[in-house]
Amino acid sequence: MRIPIRSGNIRKPNDMMRLIVTAFVGTVFGFFLGVSFPTLSLTKMNLPSTLFPSVDLTYIEDKYSGISTKALLDVWSSFKSNRGISTRLYKFDGTKIWVPSNPQGAERLPPGIIESESDFYLRRLWGQPSQDLTIKPKYLVTFTVGYDQRNNIDVAVKKFSENFTVLLFHYDGRSSEWEEFEWSKRAIHVSVRKQTKWWFAKRFLHPDIVAPYDYIFIWDEDLGVEHFDPEEYIRLIGKHGLEISQPGLEPNSRLTWEMTKRRGDSEIHKITGEKPGWCSDPHLPPCAAFVEIMAPVFSRNAWRCVWHMIQNDLVHGWGLDFALRKCIEPAHEKIGVVDSQWVVHQSVPSLGNQGQAEGGRAPWEGVRERCKKEWTMFQDRMANAERAYFQSMGVDPSQFNGSIIK
């Protein structure tokens, strides 16, 4: 693209002007060409650095790689309106810092100081910070608990080695009473009255906070773990590539779904048969791509997506289990149930009892009703959001016959 300019070739000032204009128009054309065909490498196009002094092309390329040319105009217009083309093409004045590739809002900081992720590692108040941690646990396990379930949680927590950070969400305000357990001093305690597991998860498990953990267990308090070994479980989900999983449930009368029942003859399973008419597609819930919300385990990447799908006001998480598959591709291969490490769902009434007695009904009845209502609301929101997206892309959503929008 560089145009050799030798003074001997230029006879009149007019020629000089024409040359500059031609070069400029050519470059701008080339730039749009690059944006129009994102598969072309912008960085390899070697734009003259004097024209676009401070645009970080690698950044633009990273941000928009993998986008089909179909979405081209959207990309360009959002690129202009979201961040402002003028800030994007700013010119370094030699004094002030402005780094467009920093996290949004932190552009004034030198990149070297930015810590955009955190963790739950406990540190000392003295000594060298670099020597605070003897171990950096790779896994996180959370239980949402009431003090009445302490003995069950005590047994469960003791199953998890030092490779796990333990985080308890207390819904009954009695967090200090757990001090009777030695392990409680190393655990993280978050206490907010009468809130649910998914309310806590949305507020305290932001993907940037739990980023150091390979896997995140978000478990209920009423699981029996006699036949469960966490390290072996992690080995198995790694071996079978499960991004979202749960331990099999010991079959008992309370079970609803075939998918989550433990099988005696396999390590894991990803697919199942259900009652006639329950599965329109063998690769869709409840026959595949499905785990329940009582004992899910997420990989870091899966959680980054699922966290965004959790609604702030739909605190019971009902319906989430049917939608988890939206976060994984192909879902029927990466969502599954581990059979050889299983748990017992004891179904003790817990948070349900923290409801409100109204109109002569028991507290749990109102909670139950809310759960069902939330399920419908969540499904509606998801369907509407998908429909809106496809319509905005000029695609008729009805052509999917419910296989995507459902």
Ligand X SMILES: *[C@@H]1O[C@H](CO)[C@@H](O)[C@H](O)[C@H]1NC(C)=O
User: Which residue, 50 or 399, is less far from ligand X as judged by CB?
Assistant: 399
Least separation, in Å, of the C-beta of 134 and ligand X? 12
Least separation, in Å, of the C-beta of 252 and ligand X? 29
User: Which residue, 61 or 231, is less far from ligand X as judged by CB?
Assistant: 231
Least separation, in Å, of the C-beta of 400 and ligand X? 6
Least separation, in Å, of the C-beta of 342 and ligand X? 19
Least separation, in Å, of the C-beta of 217 and ligand X? 15
3-state secondary structure of 158: helix
Least separation, in Å, of the C-beta of 399 and ligand X? 5
CA 237, CA 297: separation in Å to the nearest integer?
Answer: 9
- Cβ atoms 145, 153 nearer than 8 A: yes
Task: Please give the residue whose beta carbon sits closest to ligand X in the complex.
Answer: 161
Q: What are phi and psi of 74, to 5 degrees?
A: -60, -45
Interstrand relation of 215-219 and 268-269 (parallel, antiparallel or unpaired): unpaired
User: Which residue, 113 or 135, is less far from ligand X as judged by CB?
Assistant: 135
Extract the tokens encoding 66: 């993998």
Interacting residues with ligand X (CB under 6 A):
161, 163, 231, 399, 401
Q: What are phi and psi of 169, to 5 degrees?
A: -100, 115
CA 87, CA 108: separation in Å to the nearest integer?
Answer: 12
* CB neighbour list of residue 302: distance below 8 Å, 6 or more residues apart: 243, 244, 324, 327, 328, 334
User: Which residue, 53 or 238, is less far from ligand X as judged by CB?
Assistant: 238
Least separation, in Å, of the C-beta of 161 and ligand X? 3
Burial grade of 144 (CB within 10 A; 0-12, 13-18, 19 or more): buried
User: Which residue, 129 or 394, is less far from ligand X as judged by CB?
Assistant: 394
| Three-point CA angle 208, 213, 217, nearest 5° | 105
User: Which residue, 65 or 161, is less far from ligand X as judged by CB?
Assistant: 161
User: Which residue, 26 or 402, is less far from ligand X as judged by CB?
Assistant: 402
Interstrand relation of 297-299 and 244-249 (parallel, antiparallel or unpaired): antiparallel
> Residue 214 half-sphere exposure, CB side, CA atoms within 13 Å?
13
